[in-house]
């Protein structure tokens, strides 16, 4: 019989968890209002929940009367755990317990997972012991969490021992534990021979392998370059009437393509079709890569058309591979045509795509087009990760025979400012001056706004004075920002007076 008494969890475990929050606070609104509020938020407000919001929601729940059930708290803790705020979950769990709400199997499993993620295995097993004392039967998820926790710390032998002990206790669940262990530990740890031994041991114990088990092994062998062993396993599973899925075939197709065995990869693709297994984007992209490696560009293009006709959308990797194939064969205009087609279809290019085309145009004697393409890449509002790639590409332009101009520098400065990399943006301003390239009105205004946004008034003043000496003035966007900062007290009127002043004939709003 399962007992529902509240047994306190390991005190030392929760002492490690900071920060602590009070379970009480100022009561706002009626109890019924709070009940409605927290229930609505639990239903719709847990995606990417922030720390402060999570704490506020928890306190609202603690203040509600009647108190929410442990199921409601479980929902909150699960949502926070998905955002990887493990210490916060542990702290709130402790407060829930101190408010007289007993843990259930699900909350205990969440706590175990959080301790495992924090590499606190001793505390995780302590909570596991409490779970058993409460009379709960651990689930496969609980066991898998502990096994993965051991593996995260490199304690693979202990994980194997635990799997074996669980196997003796709960044979009906063994297939999931053994298969998951194979995939997450042995195959990824390149212990492939151990994985095969484990596979044989499963068979000996009467545990039947399934598609998941085989696919894990095949993927491991293929990743290690042992495609022949992977192919043999595929034959074995087909002989045993275990139907491979698209993931199984993709692992082998990818391995064959990397080994230069495109014919074998295409045969596997045909086998997929025969068996009624639909190829996905990974399948098509891998085959397109293989065709491009053999300079069979027409066939690669036909493969892309085929995947579109089958309702399978190419992604940026698919397009970049084919564009690279065109550029390598000095068919840059064809690559550019595909690039524009990619944009029309709503696929966002990354730095790999742009770099491929820029390199292609440089090699075919079209540095002007290469420069324009770089400027387009930075000016379209790329994310920070792409700005990093753009910076590397920018630094390589001179070696490609492309001399950056004021527009090229300015769009790069703008990209760095959007990312928040102001020191690099300032360095680039001085670099362009060293290269004899005069900054324009857009260059200065971009930097001034970035420094103002970051609260760096002194550097903003220096840039404004420099801009005025060059005969430029603040543009409409800068003036609006200053007026907004004046209205909320972040600047005083003297700044606006300093900003206004005489300027020469160079005032312009273009990047030219």
pLDDT per residue over 210-234, tens digit each? 777 778 778 777 877 787 888 888 8
Residue 9 is classified by DSSP as P
Can you tell me the mean pLDDT for 435-461?
89
Buried-state track 247-267, b at ≥16 Cβ within 10 A, e below 16: bbbbbbbbbbbbeebbebbbe
Structural domain contains residue 81: yes
pLDDT of residue 253: 94
Do 390 and 297 lie in one domain? The reply is no
State the pLDDT confidence band at 282, using cuts at 50, 70 and 90. Answer: very high
Structural domain contains residue 224: no
Q: Identify the CA nearest to 413 among candidates 385, 458, 448.
A: 448
Coil/strand/helix, residue 475: coil
pLDDT of residue 376: 80
Length of the chain: 512
pLDDT beyond 60 at 246? yes
Do 55 and 3 lie in one domain? The reply is yes
* Complete DSSP assignment for 105-168: HHHHHHHHHHHHHTT-HHHHHHHHHHHHHTT----HHHHHHHHHHHHHTT-HHHHHHHHHHHHH
Structural domain contains residue 111: yes
Mean pLDDT for all residues in the chain = 78
Do 321 and 381 lie in one domain? The reply is no
Mean pLDDT: which of 16-20, 143-147, 167-171, 187-191 is highest? Answer: 143-147
Can you tell me the mean pLDDT for 320-329?
93
Can you tell me the mean pLDDT for 393-409?
77
State the pLDDT confidence band at 333, using cuts at 50, 70 and 90. Answer: very high
Structural domain contains residue 382: yes
For the full predicted model, state whether its pTM sits above 0.95. no
pLDDT beyond 90 at 24? no
Do 382 and 461 lie in one domain? The reply is no
Cis peptide before 164 (omega within 30 of 0): no
Structural domain contains residue 90: yes
pLDDT of residue 321: 94
Q: Is the dihedral of CA 424, 427, 429, 435 positive or negative?
A: negative
Do 296 and 313 lie in one domain? The reply is yes
State the pLDDT confidence band at 49, using cuts at 50, 70 and 90. Answer: confident
Do 47 and 120 lie in one domain? The reply is yes
* Complete DSSP assignment for 373-421: HHHHHHHTT--HHHHHHHHHHHHHTGGGT----HHHHHHHHHHHHHHT-
Q: Look at residues 341, 361, 387 and tell me which one is the last residue of a structural domain.
A: 341
pLDDT beyond 90 at 508? no
Please state which of the ranges 20-34, 134-148, 312-326 shows the lowest mean pLDDT: 20-34
Share in percent of the chain as helix, strand, coil (round to 5): 70, 0, 30
pLDDT beyond 60 at 327? yes
pLDDT of residue 440: 92
Mean pLDDT: which of 45-49, 72-76, 143-147, 206-210 is highest? Answer: 72-76
More reliable by pLDDT, 295 or 182: 295
Q: Look at residues 303, 318, 341 and tell me which one is the last residue of a structural domain.
A: 341
Structural domain contains residue 472: yes
pLDDT of residue 45: 60
Can you tell me the mean pLDDT for 409-421?
82
Do 10 and 87 lie in one domain? The reply is yes
Q: Look at residues 88, 122, 138 and tell me which one is the last residue of a structural domain.
A: 138
* Distance, CA of 266 to CA of 257 (rounded, Å): 9
Structural domain contains residue 168: no
Q: Identify the CA nearest to 251 among candidates 275, 271, 221.
A: 221
Q: Identify the CA nearest to 3 among candidates 77, 102, 71, 74.
A: 102
Do 133 and 42 lie in one domain? The reply is yes
Cα distances (angstroms) measured from residue 21 to each of 15, 47, 51, 99, 367: 13, 22, 11, 13, 60
pLDDT of residue 263: 94
Do 27 and 122 lie in one domain? The reply is yes
More reliable by pLDDT, 502 or 160: 160
Can you tell me the mean pLDDT for 337-357?
87
pLDDT of residue 276: 92
Do 507 and 386 lie in one domain? The reply is no
Do 80 and 26 lie in one domain? The reply is yes
Structural domain contains residue 413: yes
Domain limits for position 284: 279-341
pLDDT of residue 386: 53
If one counts the domains in the chain, the total is 4
pLDDT of residue 322: 95
Do 133 and 57 lie in one domain? The reply is yes
Please state which of the ranges 15-19, 319-323, 429-433 shows the lowest mean pLDDT: 15-19
């Amino acid at each position: 019989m399962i007992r529902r008494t509240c047994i306190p969890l390991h005190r030392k475990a929760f002492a490690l968890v900071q920060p602590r929050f009070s379970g009480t606070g100022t009561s706002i609104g009626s109890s019924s209002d709070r009940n409605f509020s927290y229930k609505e938020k639990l239903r719709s407000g847990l995606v990417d929940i922030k720390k402060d919001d999570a704490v506020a929601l928890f306190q609202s729940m603690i203040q509600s009367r009647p108190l929410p059930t442990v199921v409601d708290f479980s929902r909150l803790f699960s949502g926070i755990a998905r955002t990887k705020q493990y210490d916060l979950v542990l702290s709130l769990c402790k407060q829930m317990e101190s408010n007289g709400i007993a843990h259930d199997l699900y909350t205990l499993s969440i706590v175990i997972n959080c301790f495992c993620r924090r590499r606190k295995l001793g505390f995780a097993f302590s909570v596991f012991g409490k779970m058993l004392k409460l009379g709960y039967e651990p689930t496969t998820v609980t066991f898998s969490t502990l096994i993965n926790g051991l593996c995260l710390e490199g304690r693979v032998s202990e994980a194997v021992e635990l799997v074996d002990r669980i196997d003796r206790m709960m044979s009906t669940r063994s297939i999931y534990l053994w298969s998951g262990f194979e995939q997450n530990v042995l195959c990824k740890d390149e212990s492939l021979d151990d994985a095969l031994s484990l596979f044989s041991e499963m068979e000996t114990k009467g545990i039947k392998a399934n598609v998941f088990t085989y696919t894990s092994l095949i993927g491991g062998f293929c990743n290690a370059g042992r495609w022949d062993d992977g192919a043999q396993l595929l034959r074995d599973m087909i002989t045993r009437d275990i139907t491979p899925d698209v993931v199984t075939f993709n692992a082998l197709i990818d391995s064959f393509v990397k080994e230069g065995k495109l014919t074998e990869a295409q045969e596997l693709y045909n086998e997929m079709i025969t068996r009624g297994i639909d190829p996905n984007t990974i399948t098509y992209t891998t085959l397109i890569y293989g065709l491009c490696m053999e300079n069979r560009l027409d066939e690669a293009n036909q493969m892309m058309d085929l995947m579109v006709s089958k309702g399978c959308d190419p992604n940026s990797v698919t397009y970049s591979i084919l564009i690279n194939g065109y550029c390598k064969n000095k068919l840059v205009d064809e690559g550019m045509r595909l690039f524009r087609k990619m944009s029309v279809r709503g696929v966002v290019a990354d730095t790999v795509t742009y770099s491929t085309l820029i390199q292609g145009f440089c090699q075919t004697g079209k540095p002007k087009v290469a420069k324009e393409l770089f400027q387009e890449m930075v000016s379209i509002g790329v994310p920070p990760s792409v700005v990093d790639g753009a910076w590397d590409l920018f630094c390589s332009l001179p070696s490609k025979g492309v001399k950056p101009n004021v527009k090229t520098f300015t769009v790069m400065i703008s990209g760095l400012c959007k990312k928040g990399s102001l020191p690099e943006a300032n360095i680039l301003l001085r670099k362009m001056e060293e290269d004899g390239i005069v900054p324009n009105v857009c260059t200065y205004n971009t930097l001034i706004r970035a420094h103002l946004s970051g609260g760096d008034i002194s550097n903003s003043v220096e840039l404004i004075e420099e801009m005025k000496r060059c005969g430029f003035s603040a543009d409409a966007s800068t003036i609006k920002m200053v007026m907004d900062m004046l209205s909320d007290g972040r600047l005083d009127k003297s700044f606006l007076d300093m900003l206004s002043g005489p300027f020469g004939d160079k005032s312009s709003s273009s990047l030219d």
